[in-house]
Structure 1
């Protein structure tokens, strides 16, 4: 395609992504599934399709998506649930890859164990994008959100490492489980070390992060630096990205400036939105190429291969979750440190929901498309991976929200609001205590006046939080109770800010205020409005 055609395609794709996001918000349907369907429809239209370049996806798309997901995750929550996260993101991925490999070597004519393991590694890692988007909207409990996030962050590294080992076995003397295990451990450990090194370099640059532009620049290059460092020393670049993101995200409240955090968060939301939309559109467009490559295989061989792939993916996950929950509770001890103790067992409804949160996505196709022409049954492997993506992304993605509602799984909104208001009250009390210290340290009457003004503002805010806490304590359900006074106060404050904004526009339009002055004053109002609390 020409430059103009490429630009037109990108513009149309962005327009579709925005439209689908709007539709998703109105209907509750996952945008990932809707974009994939549109990609399939587009692929069947006359004209040229856009191919999925695996190296481009693995180098330029996966690192920023994983890094942003890591920034939004909780290092402490993942650590508290680390055994379950490791069980799903490492052991289950290994089991899936091995089981698919055995199935192919036993029942698919001419297939090798190494080729089957390569397919198993590609289809093993769930892509949590669709499940998390639906789960958050449906109010999925926080412990399940943490498990889905943690699994999605770490399983890609496991899968790509296994894939590398399997491809090396295809090119060499065959698949050796002890050798593969050793290579996996070395790659994973090296990825962790690389991620920690990059995170500490970013921490050392914290003096530059006071400037929002510098902070954004550092944040945007960090995932690529971590990935390239890992890959350059032949360890897991994906795991390096995840570890760096978790550490930097954990440190951000301490080292980043307020302006830097606000701007960086906005930039990453935009990057995430565009990249995710593009990759799901591209997934659908690969269908014709994958189907056209199957002319050398009989329907029976294709059916057996697809049945093994889809069957292992859909059946092993719930079986694994049930079996791991039946283990003795002493095996579910958390690691030491804050929050040490036994991990809470999942109940039957949570096991069902987590079993159905196994949608596969772009990492599966990017991984399987990296296989070279010398890999036995490469075309069949790609078709099986594509079918697994479609079955899980469309089947599980479109039914996950109704399942969550049917199971009655919801986060206790009143408890979450109570936790946040208790933290708000504690932070305001700490500010009041600090004012007392400041008063004792100085004797300037001017500063006394400033302290008293600030004290009155903080005491009003503290009283508001305490009234809110009293209301939340009296809540009889898990819903956030309504407070007419609280709602009215928020409404009035929004209206006052809007009146100020309209007056500034009248000044600008009358020529009494420059556009530069308008932007400065409008930014002040925007920040003031952003600071207004929501109903939580």
Structure 2
């Protein structure tokens, strides 16, 4: 199938699934995966293959960078100990547990360990797409774990591939050096990329150039880390976390709006294309193995999937008891989660792109490659299909407390900023020479905003918060009516398209400002 036809097919499936999934009440990634499986039955589509280099070089840097850029470091620091245990020791335990099942069913240790390394890490893109209903703290912990554990899995994969390819033996010191190089080297490269990226971004005032430079950061970090045989994944994650701290002070409001719009569109499209291509690749994996071995391989898929869930749950329980035994401080007690939350974390441990990328990266001539790809693809499908459908029910069963932390923090920060602005208004007006009536008008507007967020709910009368939503809804309706009038003026030849575009840009900015409050009114 030629590249253009492939692009149109995959793009159509991504758009179609995004439209249909809410109407079918299915997770979007799950429908994308199923559509990929279905079109994989079409003979021309069977020629489409997902090269591992495309996942590692094109998909992962972009997807992981945006996830890291949006990761709150405060929450990461709070649960850092648990995150590091899950992203290192759990990966090792899952690798050897999975490999043990393969060996018990007749596989050799080397292909079994390669399969284990491929299936050990959770996938950040799958977690982000399928686990959005989780409370804020839980989703941050899962996403951060998924960002880091890829590095551990790739180190294990590198060692096993080295053993399989050259029959070499790694000493304990050599293994330690590979781990240090992967994490330490990747971390240093990521810090340098973040530092240099920040220095460049602060000097670029043009929004287009600013965002063009930002796009280069994850790919440059990945490339530089791979050149010294460090972890490109870790470099991208560290660079994203660094820029998440320095980014708010670089760029302009326009560049930040462009950034968010571009990255949301790009990562949503890439993520959807990845799930579609995984489904198509499953057909290729099915055809690459002998018919007689399929029943055993299907059984292995199910056994490994169950083992991954059990290992994850048992590991979480073991580490929890160990931490509680060692650390009984009040601060640690405040961090504790319920056992039901650990069940949710177990079910939310999806496998995805990185697992398939590692399996596809196995050298073509290596014995057992087809079986590794088949089982890895089968387990990825099982995690997304079974766990994706099961997760909403498990979240309801867990009975999480209502998660109002983010909204409460937003209200507090908004109130603090408004009060500070009101206090600073006289001095700022005097500094820039603004007339008194302009200053008084702005002070009154800011006080009205403060009154609206300070309103407390009542049972019979409209609260100030309700008035804020009504105000936003009415203002948004007026913006829409104004836009209709401007378009009508253009259609009648009264104004040019240039004037229309300038006015529409201003109206769109007003609409974006008003839309969240208006939407909240109708929820």
C-alpha distance 314-123 of structure 1, shift in aligned 2 (>3 A): same
1:47-104 Cα offsets, whole Å, 9 max, x none, are 2421011112211111111111111211221122111111212211111112233444
1:68 aligns with 2:66: yes
C-alpha distance in 2 between matches for 1:166 and 1:134: 31
* Residues 27-36 or 62-71, more deviating: 27-36
Tell me the CA shift for residue 392 of structure 1. Answer: 0.7
Q: CA deviation at 1:514?
A: 1.5
1:289 aligns with 2:279: no
Q: Which residue of 1 aligns with 2:504?
A: 522
Q: SS in structure 2 opposite 1:326?
A: helix
Which string of whole-angstrom CA distances, capped at 9 and with x for unpartnered residues, describes residues 274-310 of structure 1? Answer: 1111111111112233223322975686467445532
Where does 1:131-170 land on structure 2 (aligned, <5 Å)? 131-136=127-132, 138=133, 140-170=134-164
Gaps of 5+ in 2: none
Alignment match, 1:385 = 376
- State the 1:142 CA deviation: 1.0
Once the two structures are superposed, the pairs formed by residues 470-481 of structure 1 within 5 Å of their partners are 470-471=456-457
User: Residue deviations 1:328-381, cap 9 Å, x none?
Assistant: 4375699xxxx9866611102211111100111111111111111343422222
- The alpha carbon displacement at 1:420 in A equals 1.4
CA-CA distance at 1:390 after TM superposition: 1.4
Match of residue 408 from structure 2: 418
TM-score with structure 1 setting the length = 0.89
Measured at CA, do residues 518 and 331 of structure 1 come closer, stay the same or move farther in structure 2, by a change above 3 Å? farther
Specify whether residues 133 and 299 from structure 1 end up closer, same or farther in structure 2 by C-alpha distance, changes over 3 A only: closer
Provide the C-alpha distance between the structure 2 equivalents of 1:332 and 1:291, rounded to a whole number of angstroms: 49
Query: How many aligned residue pairs are there?
Result: 513
Which secondary structure does the structure 2 equivalent of 1:327 belong to? helix
Provide Cα deviations, 1:431-467, integer angstroms capped at 9, x if missing partner: 112213325657x4x4433322221221121121212
Q: Does 1:356 align with 2:347?
A: yes
RMSD of Structure 2 on Structure 1 (CA): 2.6
1:496-529: CA deviations, max 9, x gaps? 2122212212222222221111111111111112
The aligned runs of 1:79-90 (5 Å cut-off) are 79-90=77-88
CA distance in 2 between counterparts of 1:331 and 1:261 reads: 44
Paired position in structure 1 for 2:10: 13
- 8 Å CA contact 2:302–2:379 kept in 1: the answer is no
Please state how far the C-alpha of 1:246 moved relative to its aligned partner.
1.2
CA distance in 2, matches of 1:427, 1:333: 38
Match of 1:24 in 2: 21
SS class of match (1:531)? helix
Query: Superposed, which structure 2 residues align to 1:228-267 within 5 Å?
Result: 228-267=223-262
- TM-aligned CA distance change 1:296 to 1:494, over 3 Å: closer
The reply to whether residue 123 of structure 1 matches residue 119 of structure 2 is yes
Counterpart CA distance in 1 for 2:204 and 2:317 is: 46
Distance of aligned partners of 1:498 and 1:303 in 2 relative to their CA distance in 1, 3 Å threshold:
closer
Residues 127 and 143, structure 2, Cα contact 8 Å, conserved in 1: no
Q: Describe the SS at the equivalent of 1:93.
A: helix
Runs of 5+ unmatched residues, structure 1: 476-480
Cα pair 2:18 2:28 within 8 Å, conserved: yes
- Counterpart selection for 1:513 from 495, 517, 522: 495
Q: Deviations over 1:14-41 (max 9, x none)?
A: 1221121122233442111111111111
Mapping of 1:123-522 within 5 angstroms?
Answer: 123-136=119-132, 138=133, 140-173=134-167, 176=170, 178=172, 179-295=174-290, 298=293, 302=297, 305-306=300-301, 309-329=304-324, 331=326, 344-409=335-400, 411-413=402-404, 415-439=405-429, 441=431, 444=433, 446-467=434-455, 470-471=456-457, 484-522=466-504
Check the 8 A contact 2:151/2:182 in 1, yes or no.
no
Secondary structure in 1 matching 2:85 = helix
Equivalent position SS for 1:65: helix
In structure 1, what is the Cα distance between the partners aligned to 2:25 and 2:124?
A: 17
Q: 1:25 to 1:48 in 2, by over 3 A?
A: closer
8 Å Cα contact 2:198-2:247 kept in structure 1? no
202-211 or 66-75: bigger deviation:
202-211
- Once residues 417 and 313 of structure 1 are traced to their aligned partners in structure 2, the CA distance between those partners, rounded to angstroms, is 35
